[in-house]
Chains A and B, each alone.
Chain A
Amino acid sequence: MVSGIVSYGVYIPRFRIRLDEIARVWGNGEEITEGLRVFEKSVPDLDEDTVTIAVEAARNALQRARIDPKRIGAIYAGSESHPYAVKPTATIVGQAVCTSSSFTAADFEFACKAGTAALQACLGLVGSNLIDLGLAIGADVSQGAPGDMLEYTAAAGGAAYLIGSRDVAAEIEGTYSFTTDTPDFWRREGMPYPEHGGRFTGEPAYFKHVTGAARGLLERMGSAPEDYDYAVFHQPNGKFPVRVAKMLGFSKKQIEPGLIVPLIGNTYSASCLIGLAATLDIAKPGERIFVTSFGSGAGSDAFSISVKDKIEEIRCGASSVRDYIGEAEYLDYAMYAKHKGKLRI
């Protein structure tokens, strides 16, 4: 049985702040913005959070392929910024997209890879014939303490994927995960901002896990980087995905369509899922896409995807990633602080 992506949708808030503007306030200068290779990041509106972003992305996914929401048998919402500590994001999404009440739901948390973990769970339920369609979501309004390195990239966005085995637009040929206990980034219960291990987030965390999952999947599939037309890696900044692609043998050309972090920042649970959506926006039937996420704590999920004819039929049913990137309105740091709730009234 062929299982995979039946439809997909994204949502990126329209507000942006340029990294130069953040550097102007904290005086860190050009070296940070140049080093990160990120120019601007998305900022949620005053009344947007992970739930609203997840709902907009899910509605886009349903609209793109004109899917009856009553077919959905599972909703898994991955995020590290669920607005409730206890009360699921997934139930609100279900009600907002008009599913029946006959679906299972849960919220996932695994730093930046909760969205791909949700996707794997849906794939399992579809593959075992327990559900018709699963809705996997990665959405975040990520947090960075004022002046901290994270503030330069912590952005907002969401992606939703409908996983099924009928009318598949992109087959998921295989998946492989690599997981260890690595304390590179964390947020304790009740704390407003995460902490991180600085340079420790690189070699023993991002690079070890992304290469571990990617090489594991390539070996399992018996494939090589040159067998793929595109590749998407988790994008905490503009530097890491380019470097890890080179380490694994993927070219700049392969990662270019999905490399959206320079324009919207790190959307955490949505990061590589929005990158995959940007790639699906332009991919042709028969082409193959290699995807690897990363979540601190730490783990990576890799996917081998083959694009099918159906993609041409559904592509124009909803806004593309580039449509959202083009809808940008810029904020200064004061307005950004208001939007992010950093001003206490």
Chain B
Amino acid sequence: MTNHAPRFWRSIPQRYNLSGTHCTCCNEYFFPPRNLCPNCRRGAHLEEYTFKGTGTIITYTTIYNATEDFERLTPYNLAIIQLDEGPKITGQIVSSSAGVKIGMRVRPVFRILGKEGDKGIIYYGTKFAPLLEQSCAEEK
């Protein structure tokens, strides 16, 4: 059995909470995090930034034939999501029985991303779901 525990462990901040970086000089946000701003180079000032996770679906596809690790999930929707701060990321769309649409607003949800068989570790991280309407709260 393969063991990817160290590789998974290193990316926990990004997977759990969309932790990236922000260049305060040019105001560009990066995900995954960059150590260097391609716009400002030596003049850059990068800081850690946790993305809100809300965004808009740019495009999507539906997977009917998946690799072994994901075959139990089929059919499922994969989308490119533009986060509100700018970066585009690929993520699975869940809880969208009404269908997925380009332009749909989404929020982050915490889900199982994969498992190393029955004995290995469980990978957790961020997927996306349509924004919820709440009876008395603001948009979340």
Chain A positions within 8 Å of B, measured between CB atoms, are 14, 45-49, 51-52, 55-56, 59, 63, 83-84, 92, 95-96, 98, 315-320, 322-323, 327, 329, 338, 341, 345
Closest to B113 in A: A47
Q: Are A47 and B127 in contact (CB under 8 A)?
A: yes
List chain B residues, Cβ under 8 A from A329.
Answer: 95, 97
B136 adjacent to chain A (CB < 8 Å): yes
In contact, B137 and A316 (Cβ under 8 angstroms):
yes
Inter-subunit contact B135/A320 (CB<8 Å): yes
CB closest residue in chain A, given B125: A96
- Could you tell me the distance between the alpha carbons of A59 and B127 in the complex, rounded to whole angstroms? 15
Minimum-distance CB pairs A-B, first 9: A316-B136, A55-B110, A47-B112, A47-B111, A316-B137, A96-B16, A52-B110, A319-B134, A329-B97
B109 engages A56 (CB within 8 Å): yes
Q: Given A56-B109, A323-B132, is A96 in contact with B140 using a C-beta cutoff of 8 Å?
A: no
Q: Which residues of B are in contact with A by a Cβ distance under 8 Å? A: 12, 16-17, 50, 71-73, 94-95, 97, 109-113, 122, 124, 127, 132-138, 140
Q: Which residue of B lies closest to A56 (CB)?
A: B110
Contact A45 B95 (CB under 8 A): yes
List 13 A-B pairs, Cβ < 8 Å.
Answer: A47-B113, A52-B111, A56-B109, A59-B110, A84-B122, A95-B16, A96-B16, A96-B17, A319-B134, A322-B135, A323-B133, A345-B71, A345-B72
- The reply to whether B135 and A63 contact each other, CB–CB distance below 8 Å, is no
Q: From residue A91, how far is it (CB to closest CB) to chain B in Å?
A: 11
A338 to chain B minimum Cβ distance, whole angstroms, is: 8
The closest CB in chain B to the CB of A48 belongs to B111
**A317 contact set on B, CB distance < 8 A:** 137
Give the distance in Å from the alpha carbon of A45 to the alpha carbon of B129 in the complex. Answer: 12
Q: CB distance A98 to B17 under 8 Å?
A: yes
Q: Which residue of A lies closest to B68 (CB)?
A: A345
CA distance A223 to B25 in the complex (A): 63
Assess A14 versus B95: contact at CB under 8 Å? Given A46-B72, A92-B124, A327-B132. yes
Q: Is the CB of A45 within 8 A of B111?
A: yes
Given contacts A47-B112, A92-B124, contact A98 B50 (CB under 8 A): yes
- Interfacial chain A residues near B94, Cβ < 8 Å: 45, 47
By a CB distance below 8 angstroms, the chain A residues around B124 are: 51-52, 55, 92, 96
Bound together, the chains give a CA A51 to CA B122 distance in angstroms of 10
Residues of B within 8 A of A322 (CB): 135
- CA A56 to CA B94, docked complex, whole Å: 14
CB of B136 within 8 A of CB of A320, answer: yes
Which of A63, A96, A323 meets B110, CB within 8 Å? A96
The distance in angstroms between the C-alpha atoms of A341 and B73, with both chains bound, is 11
Contact B12 A95 (CB under 8 A): yes
B22 smallest CB distance to A (angstroms): 17
The residues of B that contact A51 with a CB separation of less than 8 Å are 112, 122, 124
Distance in angstroms between the alpha carbons of A92 and B138 in the assembled complex: 27
User: Which residue of the partner chain B has the closest CB to A316?
Assistant: B136
- Which of B17, B127, B133, B135 neighbours the largest number of chain A CB atoms within 10 Å of its CB? B135
Give bound CA distance, A323 to B139, whole Å.
13
Contact, CB under 8 Å: B72 / A319:
no
Chain B hits for A63, CB < 8 A:
140
- Note all chain A residues with C-beta closer than 8 A to B134: 316, 318-320, 323
| B112 adjacent to A49 (CB under 8 Å) | yes
Distance of B91 from chain A, by nearest CB (Å) = 12
Please indicate the chain B residues that have their CB under 8 angstroms from the CB of A48 in the complex: 111-112
A95 to B14, CA, bound (A): 11
* Cα separation A117 to B122 with both chains bound (whole Å): 26
- Taking CB atoms, residues of chain A closer than 8 Å to B97 are 329
Whether B73 contacts A47 by the Cβ 8 Å rule is yes
Cβ-closest chain B residue relative to A330: B97
User: Which A residues are in CB contact (< 8 Å) with B140?
Assistant: 63, 318-319
Cα of A47 to Cα of B74 in the assembled complex, Å: 12
A45 to B96, CA, bound (A): 11
A323 adjacent to B135 (CB under 8 Å): yes
With A47-B94, A96-B124 already in contact, the answer to whether A52 and B136 are too (CB < 8 A) is: no
Distance (whole angstroms) from the CB of B128 to the closest CB of chain A: 12
Residues of A contacting B110 in the complex (Cβ-Cβ under 8 angstroms):
52, 55-56, 59, 96
Contacts of A47 in B (CB 8 A): 73, 94, 111-113, 127
- Nearest CB in chain A: distance from B29 CB, A: 18
